[in-house]
């Protein structure tokens, strides 16, 4: 539905977190246990959750991939808010994105890449696309401070050397993974994707939202 005049249009780019959502093989799936339940006569509903901090849309902390790196509660909030660009990446499954694969010139300090290679967060496919170290360097040279992707990782699933994570760490860039970008037109937005303030954590879930004001540049 189009935004009303003068009212920003919001795009929720976070997948639904449920018991169905996929997580990396061997990681902790999402579960929610009901401790109290109004329907059973309790005065209120009360529940607890258990899951990996890398569930759904999430922000990686440098401590996830670099010894001595900052934990997620130590990351500056301004990294996750502000001018942002969604760019299509012409890349196949199981491939790394190169600069030549970008469908538009980089114009914003935060770039979210839409690959379409992880189409259903509830159905894990291990052949999703990822960044390349070459692309990370290319983005950084153009002033990009945050890079996000619509797959579970900026590296390919089989990659144990973490090529792209290390390239990001060398440049102190911020990372968003697991975004839902299928319904978002390429173009410029304001990004709001603040990670939970989890002390010492190597990542944190985010409620990632793109904000488009009337007259914003979208394709």
Does residue 213 register a pLDDT over 90? no
Does 1 fall in a domain?
Answer: no
User: Would you state the pLDDT for residue 101?
Assistant: 98
**Res 1: pLDDT:** 47
CB neighbourhood size of 57 (10 A): 24
Say if 155 falls within a structural domain. Answer: yes
Whether 218 is in a domain gets the answer no
Residue 67 lies in a domain: yes
Residue 39 belongs to a domain: no
Q: Is the pLDDT of residue 120 over 50?
A: yes
pLDDT of res. 111: 98
What is the pTM for the complete model shown?
A: 0.93
**Mean local confidence (pLDDT), 123-142:** 98
Q: Which residues have a catalytic role annotated?
A: 64
Q: Is 96 left (phi over 0), alpha (psi -120 to 50) or beta?
A: beta
Share above pLDDT 90 across residues of the chain, in percent, rounded to a whole number: 93
Residue 7 has a pLDDT of 78
- Does residue 190 form part of some domain? yes
Mean pLDDT of 83-96: 98
Q: Which helix (H) or strand (E) holds 171?
A: helix 163-171
Could you tell me the CATH number of the domain that includes residue 161?
3.50.30.50
> What's the structural domain count of the chain?
1
DSSP helix/strand/coil, 83: strand
User: Which residues form the domain of 183?
Assistant: 9-16+52-212
CA–CA distance, 62 with 142 (Å, rounded to integer): 21
User: 108 lies in a domain?
Assistant: yes
pLDDT tens, residue by residue, 151-183: 999 999 999 999 999 999 999 999 999 999 999
Residue 153 domain-assigned? yes
């Amino acid at each position: 539905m189009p935004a009303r005049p003068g009212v920003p249009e919001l795009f929720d780019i976070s997948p639904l977190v449920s018991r169905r959502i996929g997580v990396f093989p061997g990681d902790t799936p999402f579960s929610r246990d009901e401790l109290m339940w109004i329907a059973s006569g309790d005065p209120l509903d009360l529940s607890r959750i258990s899951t990996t901090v890398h569930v759904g849309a999430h922000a990686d902390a440098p401590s996830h991939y670099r010894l001595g790196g900052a934990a997620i509660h130590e990351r500056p909030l301004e990294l996750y808010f502000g001018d942002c660009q969604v760019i299509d990446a012409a890349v196949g499954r199981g491939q790394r994105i190169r600069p030549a694969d970008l469908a538009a010139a980089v114009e914003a300090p935060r770039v979210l890449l839409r690959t379409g290679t992880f189409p259903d967060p509830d159905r894990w496919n291990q052949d999703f696309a990822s960044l390349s170290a070459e692309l990370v360097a290319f983005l950084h040279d153009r002033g990009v401070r945050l890079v996000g992707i619509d797959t579970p990782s900026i590296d390919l699933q089989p990659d144990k050397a973490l090529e792209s994570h290390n390239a990001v760490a060398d440049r102190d860039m911020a990372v968003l993974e697991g975004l839902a970008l299928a319904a978002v037109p390429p173009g410029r937005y304001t990004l709001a994707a603040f990670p939970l303030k989890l002390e010492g954590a190597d990542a944190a879930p985010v409620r990632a939202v793109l904000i488009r004001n009337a007259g914003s540049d979208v394709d």
